[in-house]
Structure 1
Amino acid sequence: MERVWWLLPLLVALVVGGLCPLAGTLLLVQRRLFLVNLVSHAVLPGLAIALALRIDPGVGGVISGLAGALLAERFSGGSRPGQPGDEAVLNTVLAGFLGLGVLLIPLLGIRVDLEAVLFGDLLAAAPVDLWRSLMALAAMVLLLGFRYRHYVYLGVDPLGAASAGLPVQRLRLLLTFVTAFTVVSAMTAVGVVLVIGLMGAPALLALPGASSLRQALWRSAGLGTLLSGGGFLLAIQPWVNLPPGPLIGVLCLLLLPLQLARR
């Protein structure tokens, strides 16, 4: 068993690496990728409350992340992203939820490893982390399976989608929920901060030249799997010996020159 101690963390890294870019690609074509940044910080209050109540932290994180995203969309442009003042609203909600989470830790008298929450700890992955990641992946696959054409329309022409009678707000709410679930499931692998890069970088490289959204999703998921799994395997090498999460984040950064070259 000692020879395969790395198998469970590797499986978590591979699942998360394929999952995160799927959500990132859908959000990128809708010009809502900043939602990942918001949700990843808004999960902290829910995590703190869940730990205090001794329930699954993932449940609290998803609820809190979803609440932060809904609050931001309520006070911003909502159905028309990119309106003046939207960035100010998003940043204010982000800072408020992050500050609330930090305050709740001493107020509730709980102990939270903030470094692990923010930057991940793949080496400490447990079977429950793998199951949570697989459940988030299943939710994403079901969402794409039943609503793929709707998300294509929503990404190309959101106003036309609304005029055609598509449930735009419901579609965005479903994607927001799955995004929050994805962020929580990725906490063990890369943390709530570095998950932003894993959602964004593969999507940026996959979209140019893609003939369809489906092709872009496949490309981004494959690239994310290589980044996450390869980053983990590289990090545990004796001559490297670095934390896997931050290393995966650096590998995401190194993709940007490739994206510029493709342009």
Structure 2
Amino acid sequence: MFDDFFLRAVVAGVGLALTTGPLGCFIIWRRMAYFGDTISHSALLGVALSLLFQLNLILSVFAVAAAVSILLLFLQRRQALSADALLGILSYATLAIGLVIVAFMSWIRIDLIAFLFGDILAVNRLDIALIWGGGILVLAAITWLWRPLLASTVNPELAEAEGLQPERAKLFFMLLMAVVIAIAMKIVGILLITALLIIPAATARRFAATPEMMAVFASLIGAVAVVGGLFGSLRYDTPSGPSIVVAALVLFIISLLPLARRVGAPATQHGGQGS
């Protein structure tokens, strides 16, 4: 009925959506959407370095994203600039440096569109194994970090007083973001990763009564967006990555309609700290 490449795309996309759901919730709660953009933009620098030095693509992207996360934490502690200014500098600097390095490598033919917007239809079985394997590890880590992350989101001072080490939890969370961006880049692309993290979580917030319920709903909504976007892409011959994001946006708009009655609000709705 469907070609193998389409089925592989569905399996890979659903696996990624299940992983991005809980992470996206913490991005919403902690108001870190701009941080997600910064880390995703840094992925292009990782791509450029992997091509320049013939390194593994995913490991290179993860290394650069992790380095940017650690650098951001260091600069925030120096308090030289506001968080949004630091994020803006790092976001556009890493993106620009990556583009400049790519431009210098005239001996390599690079499909920038595939890196920027993804090519989920090109995933193979190894990619699927990496996405699901990495996703399981990320979800296990989120489960382990759930209490300190949630506590520091609601009240960092109280979390510190209880010995939950919120700064360490935040660092681990940033590294998990780097992992997800590294494995998600091939599916939705550098410019659309943050959308897949944020939009399903924002949609889930309309219906969830608890943080745990919101995390589950975000994963399910992301999976529905992936399947809907891929079928829409197949039906209308549109780019697969952007089609997935558009499907997620449609679900978010539907959640705003009066008929989509809000069931409850997560406990962290009024909490959250900027990155």
TM-score (norm 2): 0.86
In the alignment, structure 1 residue 258 sits paired with structure 2 residue 254:
yes
In the alignment, structure 1 residue 132 sits paired with structure 2 residue 130:
yes
SS of 2:163's equivalent in the other structure is: coil
Between 184-193 and 101-110, the greater mean CA deviation after superposition = 101-110
Query: Cα distance, 1:49 vs. partner?
Result: 1.3
Q: Distance in 1 between matches of 2:81 and 2:19?
A: 32
Query: Cα distance, 1:2 vs. partner?
Result: 7.9
Query: Cα distance, 1:249 vs. partner?
Result: 1.8
1:197 — aligned with what?
195
Of 220, 236, 247 in structure 1, the residue corresponding to residue 243 of structure 2 is 247
Gaps of 5+ in 2: 263-275
1:104-183 superposed matches below 5 A:
104-109=101-106, 110-183=108-181
Q: Deviations over 1:108-152 (max 9, x none)?
A: 454321111110111211223212211321122211232222222
Of 71, 79, 82 in structure 2, the residue corresponding to residue 85 of structure 1 is 82
Percent identity (aligned): 23
Query: Cα distance, 1:73 vs. partner?
Result: 2.7
Q: Distance in 2 between matches of 1:136 and 1:36?
A: 18
Q: Deviations over 1:85-109 (max 9, x none)?
A: 2211110110110011111113345
2:270 — aligned with what?
none
Q: Deviations over 1:56-94 (max 9, x none)?
A: 20000011111122222322369x9xx972211110110
Gaps of 5+ in 1: none
Q: Distance in 2 between matches of 1:5 and 1:122?
A: 9
Q: Distance in 2 between matches of 1:254 and 1:7?
A: 23
1:15 — aligned with what?
15
**Change beyond 3 A, Cα 1:2–1:230:** closer
Q: Distance in 2 between matches of 1:28 and 1:131?
A: 28
Q: Point out 4+ residue stretches in structure 1 off by more than 4 angstroms.
A: none
Q: Distance in 1 between matches of 2:250 and 2:77?
A: 33
Q: Distance in 1 between matches of 2:219 and 2:242?
A: 19
1:32-43 superposed matches below 5 A:
32-43=32-43
1:208 — aligned with what?
206
**Change beyond 3 A, Cα 1:121–1:209:** closer
1:48 — aligned with what?
48
